[in-house]
């Protein structure tokens, strides 16, 4: 029922010409499509087909027709973008290239493996992809221009909803909205000093000749990077917490090791591996102080006292949040938790930590839980009091509970219709040719094979 608005394929296209040796039996390239003055090559389609299969999508016989249509559409958009004088700035293009390269490095394992795969340097790989990415960005910008004025009234949304057969209504996953008061047990100055001294000891050992990466594997408490010797890969300043970034980006010489840095995650030492423009590759070792029994008891006792005040109605929940809660993200929203995965306040079950999920399952809306101990999303010990703002079970979409979701679907369908109409109108005034081998394709959006 709901097909998405046409989008440009954003997969990392494998350009066969970037390989050191062409695969045995490679077919000589040929033009399979022409849109205006732009061409689509057989290799373009074959390479994209490889990407589809690599993602586990089955070949139903029409995939290559779908790929060709997506590419025809992209070329049509880029042709119109040229006519409308749309531009992609160097900053936009460079940022997107960096993003794609870093994504692919993550997928393939390391920068070195990516360079080995293509038998080229990162600079050369980026040069190969530059025009491809630029066309994709132009096509996206042109598509946004075509659909930017699509708006629907509430009556339009209701009409759209009524047009959906009851048995085709999408299922909306259940969710909770949760208020919280958060208390972290304090770390003693003695414990912090022990951690600092331990990290300074590691720094001294590296300066004496030991490998930073070996120490990171053995001792770092960052599960994401420890196994790779503490290496984070190339990152920008905004990819790092401010305290870490401030120190890391001041480092100048590869191999240098920083002094101890404190962040919300704990304490670190950092080693610079390489700098490329506004991106750096570093290793780090993370250690976190351990909570003493005394400090844990203090935090638990404080939360018990807060709970008593709340249940006696001596203290309002929102006032308790402002006075006692130590989680800034929810504190600024009167205690309402914000889902880090979605950016909204709705939490499906798999986004709630097990202990909190257990506590809220029997809470009524507005009821306040007793204090309990759990871990936050950084793995830190924390004490919480929670209250459920709303809870919704999995259900068929309806206008009362899910108006925004239905509105989004209706707008998406209207944008799809706008794009489809534009395609068929534009085809009439654009030089278009596709190879005979694709003449029998059943295309979804345009009459590409009718000219």
- When comparing pLDDT for 276 and 353, which is higher? 353
Quote the CA–CA distance of 347 and 138 in Å, as a whole number. 36
pLDDT of residue 298: 96
Give me 225's structure tokens: 């990077």
pLDDT of residue 445: 77
User: Picking from 15-24, 101-110, 250-259, which range would have the lowest pLDDT averaged per residue?
Assistant: 15-24
Q: What is the pLDDT of residues 1-45, one digit of tens each?
A: 333 333 333 344 443 333 434 444 444 679 999 999 999 999 888
User: Picking from 47-61, 134-148, 278-292, which range would have the lowest pLDDT averaged per residue?
Assistant: 47-61
pLDDT of residue 4: 38
- Mean pLDDT over 159-185 rounds to 95
Q: What is the pLDDT of residues 174-187, one digit of tens each?
A: 999 999 999 999 99
Distance of alpha carbon 392 from its chain centroid, rounded? Answer: 26
Q: What is the pLDDT of residues 401-439, one digit of tens each?
A: 899 999 999 999 999 999 999 998 999 889 999 999 888
pLDDT of residue 108: 80
Q: Write down the mean pLDDT value for the chain.
A: 88
Please determine, for residue 321, whether its predicted confidence score (pLDDT) is greater than 90. Answer: yes
pLDDT of residue 373: 96
Residues in Cβ contact with 301 at an 8 Å cutoff, skipping those fewer than 6 apart: none
Please determine, for residue 58, whether its predicted confidence score (pLDDT) is greater than 90. Answer: no
pLDDT of residue 334: 92
Comparing CA positions, the residue from 227, 381, 202 lying closest to residue 287 is 202
pLDDT of residue 13: 41
Neighbours of 52 (CB within 10 A): 17
Identify the burial level of 138 via C-beta atoms within 10 angstroms of its C-beta, where 0-12 means exposed, 13-18 middle and 19 or more buried. Answer: buried
Percent residues over pLDDT 90 in the chain: 65
Quote the CA–CA distance of 278 and 249 in Å, as a whole number. 9
Q: Which residue segments constitute the domains of the chain, with CATH numbers given?
A: 16-154+406-438 (1.10.4030.10), 175-186+292-395 (3.10.50.40), 189-287 (3.10.50.40)
- Mean pLDDT over 329-338 rounds to 92
Please determine, for residue 142, whether its predicted confidence score (pLDDT) is greater than 90. Answer: yes
Give me 439's structure tokens: 């003449």
Residues in Cβ contact with 279 at an 8 Å cutoff, skipping those fewer than 6 apart: 98, 234, 235, 236
pLDDT of residue 60: 60
Helix (H) or strand (E) holding 90: helix 90-108
- Mean pLDDT over 215-243 rounds to 92
Identify the burial level of 95 via C-beta atoms within 10 angstroms of its C-beta, where 0-12 means exposed, 13-18 middle and 19 or more buried. Answer: middle
DSSP states along 12-61 = ----GGGSSSPPTTPPPP-EEEEETTEEEEHHHHHHHHHHHHHTT----S
pLDDT of residue 95: 87
Q: pLDDT band at residue 218, thresholds of 50, 70 and 90?
A: very high
User: Picking from 55-59, 105-109, 140-144, 145-149, which range would have the lowest pLDDT averaged per residue?
Assistant: 55-59
Distance of alpha carbon 154 from its chain centroid, rounded? Answer: 31
- Mean pLDDT over 63-92 rounds to 92
Decide if 274 contacts 253 (C-beta within 8 A): no
DSSP states along 281-334 = EEEEEEE-PPPPHHHHHHHHHHHHHHHHHHHTTSS-HHHHHHHH---HHHHTTT
- Mean pLDDT over 53-63 rounds to 68
Helix (H) or strand (E) holding 244: helix 242-248
pLDDT of residue 57: 64
């Amino acid at each position: 029922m709901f097909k998405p608005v046409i989008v440009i394929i954003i997969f990392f296209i494998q350009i066969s010409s970037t390989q050191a040796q062409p695969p045995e039996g490679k077919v000589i390239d040929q033009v399979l499509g022409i849109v205006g003055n732009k061409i689509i090559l057989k290799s373009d389609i074959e390479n994209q087909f490889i990407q589809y299969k690599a993602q586990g999508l089955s070949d139903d016989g029409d995939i290559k027709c779908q790929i060709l249509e997506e590419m025809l559409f992209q070329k049509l958009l880029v042709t119109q973008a040229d006519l409308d004088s749309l531009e992609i700035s160097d900053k936009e293009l460079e940022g997107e290239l960096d993003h794609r390269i870093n994504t692919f490095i993550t997928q393939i394992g390391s920068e070195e493996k990516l360079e080995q795969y293509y038998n080229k340097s990162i600079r050369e790989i980026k040069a190969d992809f530059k025009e491809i990415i630029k066309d994709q960005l132009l096509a996206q910008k042109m598509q946004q221009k075509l659909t930017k004025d699509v708006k629907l009234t509430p009556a339009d949304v209701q009409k759209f909803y009524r047009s959906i057969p009851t048995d085709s209504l999408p299922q909306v996953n259940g969710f909770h909205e949760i208020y919280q008061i958060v208390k972290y047990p304090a770390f003693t100055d003695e414990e912090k000093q022990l951690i600092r001294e331990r990290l300074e000891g590691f720094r001294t050992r590296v300066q004496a000749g030991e490998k930073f990466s070996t120490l990171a594997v053995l001792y770092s408490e960052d599960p994401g990077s420890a196994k790779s010797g503490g290496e984070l890969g190339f990152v920008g300043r905004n990819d790092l917490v401010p305290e870490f970034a401030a120190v890391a980006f001041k480092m100048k010489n590869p191999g240098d090791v920083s002094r101890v840095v404190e962040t919300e995650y704990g304490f670190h030492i950092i080693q610079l591996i390489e700098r490329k423009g506004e991106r750096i590759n570093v290793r780090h070792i993370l250690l976190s102080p351990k909570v003493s029994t005394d400090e844990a008891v203090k935090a638990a006792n404080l939360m018990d006292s807060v709970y008593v005040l709340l249940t006696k109605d001596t203290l309002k929940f929102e006032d308790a949040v402002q006075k006692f809660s130590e989680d800034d993200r929810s504190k600024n929203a009167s205690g309402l938790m914000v889902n880090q995965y979605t950016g909204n306040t709705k939490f499906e079950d798999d986004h709630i930590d097990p202990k909190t999920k257990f506590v809220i399952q029997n809470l009524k809306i507005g009821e306040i839980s007793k204090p309990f101990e759990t871990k936050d999303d950084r793995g830190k010990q924390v004490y919480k009091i929670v209250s459920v703002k709303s809870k919704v079970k999995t259900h068929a979409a309806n206008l009362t509970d899910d108006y925004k979701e239905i509105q989004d679907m209706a707008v998406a369908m209207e944008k799809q219709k706008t794009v489809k109409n534009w395609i068929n109108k534009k085809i009439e005034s654009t030089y278009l040719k596709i190879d005979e081998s694709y003449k029998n394709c059943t295309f979804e959006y345009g009459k590409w094979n009718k000219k």
